[in-house]
Chains A and B, each alone.
Chain A
């Protein structure tokens, strides 16, 4: 079972498709969650996902904006897509019959 951040990363990489690389994924996660995403968290999670075979990394072309340095391009593998779908379905199933609207749950 994936962790929350692993799922966010896979979703972001899937959304960005061909343009998925370190900085783009980071900004996408920050935009969608409204929370900061550090390089440390991003790359250690990417390494873990890659070790599990859920993503594949490639070295992308360098750009002048990056000082001529390459990018780490990320592709979600079929196994990664399956794991993300399983996580999503689990959250959906676990959330059935529960509403998080204000006032629904009494503290």
Chain B
């Protein structure tokens, strides 16, 4: 077995559960198949296991509910984080002045930091709930997500013919990291230590709700400032309840974490009795 083949096999075997991994690798060593056949056998096992796992509803809820619904909204919010520094930077580079939209510097900062902090919190809960919903499908679903993310990068890079200035790329990558890194951290936490204790889960839900309230409130500031500046001529603002509804489903992962912890607590309580 060549070093590369061994590395490839070990990497693929990581998609199997830890206890299963050693047994399968032992079987392959004992069978002493050729490099291609052993890779084929391992891929076949992984594919069959994944097909079986995806017959359940949980991986689909994780993929459609967490990634499809919450993930897309979070990605959008994370991307919107680029807008303020980007506008400020490009206005400064062109005209040597700050980009003005009616908010004071400190108000701009509060709006930006509240969204950034909330995105990090919601991404953590989304990553945690994603893993908690379907732990065994996480490696494959995660790989598919990374692929989808790369597919979204490639057209941008190709269109720009790889000549974008470095700060453009940074401005684009940083928000993605604001979204991705906490999500990976949350997923890792759920993967290693399982569900949160009920109290912690409830605290998380309350903080998530608080973040929704804060972002709903601060996201109305720019429109209000524009309305003030135009003395009522421009009224583009969305009513607060619409903004709240748009953000409300970001609490779904935290609600799932609470429900899952409550179910575990009640099972433990029954076992104790």
Contacts and interface: CB of A to CB of B under 8 A. Distances in A.
Interface of A: 22-23, 26, 38-41, 43-44, 47, 59, 62-63, 65-67, 69-72
Contacts of B30: 23, 63, 65-66
Given A38-B41, A39-B41, A39-B44, A44 B28 contact: no
Interface size class of B (residues with CB under 8 A): 20 to 34
Contacts of B22: 69-70
A66 B41 contact: no
B26 A71 contact: yes
B113 interface: no
Contacts of A43: 20, 24, 45, 48-49
Interface in B20-63: 20, 22-31, 41-42, 44-49, 52
The 10 closest A-B CB pairs, nearest first, are A69-B26, A40-B44, A66-B26, A40-B45, A40-B48, A67-B29, A44-B48, A39-B41, A72-B23, A69-B22
A87 B29 CA distance: 34
Contacts of B24: 39, 43
A44 B27 contact: no
A59 B25 CA distance: 14
By secondary structure, the B interface counts as helix
A35 to B, nearest CB: 15
17 contacts: A22-B23, A26-B27, A38-B45, A39-B44, A40-B46, A43-B20, A47-B52, A59-B23, A65-B30, A66-B26, A66-B27, A66-B29, A67-B25, A69-B29, A71-B23, A71-B27, A72-B23
Nearest to A48: B52
Interface in B99-144: none
B130 to A, nearest CB: 24
Given A40-B44, A40-B47, 11 more contacts: A40-B45, A41-B44, A43-B24, A62-B26, A65-B29, A66-B26, A66-B29, A67-B25, A67-B29, A69-B25, A71-B23
Interface string B146-170: 0000000000000000000000000
B26 A70 contact: yes
Contacts of A59: 19, 23
Given A44-B52, A70-B22, A22 B44 contact: no
A68 to B, nearest CB: 8
B29 A40 contact: no
B6 to A, nearest CB: 10
A47 B48 CA distance: 11
A41 B27 CA distance: 14
A71 B25 CA distance: 10
Contacts of A47: 52
B29 A39 contact: no
Contacts of A65: 29-30
A40 B26 contact: no
A70 B48 contact: no
